[in-house]
Structure formats: structure tokens, C-alpha cells
């Protein structure tokens, strides 16, 4: 789905990007970053279309989504000092 169509569906549901991201447990920046490519992943597109349709038929999508227990995602890209990009690496003994 194109990013512009995605935004239209969010607007039909009465949601901003920030509200949508919070609703599904994502970082708002992660969602808005798809504007660069102009395409939204299928799973986000499906959610946006479904909530727009539910809203159009007078159904409260927030009640349905609240039934899902969202688990916190592990942050990516953080590393301890001396490690690159958070990847597990063998400690190098550079003091030889």
C-alpha cells in the first residue's frame, strides 16, 4: 500500500500517525519513516484498512485492539561499550 493511501485510511479512522503507532505498540518515528520509501508494509496496511472500515461501520476498533496483550519489543541497535551494533561478539584482548 502506498503511504498516501495509508494516511487516508488513518484519517478515516480518526487517527494520527502517533495515535496509530501507540495503538499498535510501535514507535511513531518507525511508522513515519515509511514516508521515505512511499510504501507501507502489508501488516500495517491491513491494520489501517481494517480500523478504517470498522470506524466507517460504527464499530470501536480500540476495544478490539485492547484485547491483544502487546509485548514490549527489545530495542535494536544499542550496544555495550566495545561492541558493535549490539551483535554478540567475542571480547578481543587488545592488551597483548
pLDDT at 80 over 70: no
Domain ranges of the chain: 3-66
Mean pLDDT (whole number) for 38-59: 93
Cell of 74: 527489545
Question: How high is the pLDDT of residue 79?
Answer: 60
pLDDT at residue 82 is higher than 70: no
What is the C-alpha separation between 64 and 11, in angstroms, rounded?
A: 19
Contact criterion met (CB below 8 Å) for 32 and 17: yes
pTM value? 0.70
49 pLDDT more than 80: yes
pLDDT at 88: 61
Alpha-carbon span 30 to 54, nearest angstrom: 24
Amino acid at each position: 500500500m502506498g503511504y498516501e493511501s495509508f494516511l487516508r485510511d488513518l484519517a478515516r479512522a480518526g487517527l494520527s500517525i502517533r495515535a496509530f503507532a501507540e495503538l499498535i505498540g510501535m514507535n511513531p518515528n518507525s511508522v513515519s519513516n515509511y514516508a521515505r520509501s512511499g510504501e507501507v508494509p502489508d501488516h500495517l496496511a491491513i491494520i489501517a484498512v481494517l480500523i478504517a472500515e470498522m470506524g466507517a461501520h460504527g464499530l470501536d476498533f480500540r476495544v478490539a485492539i485492547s484485547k491483544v496483550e502487546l509485548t514490549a519489543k527489545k530495542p535494536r541497535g544499542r550496544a555495550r561499550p566495545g561492541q558493535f551494533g549490539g551483535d554478540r561478539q567475542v571480547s578481543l584482548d587488545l592488551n597483548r
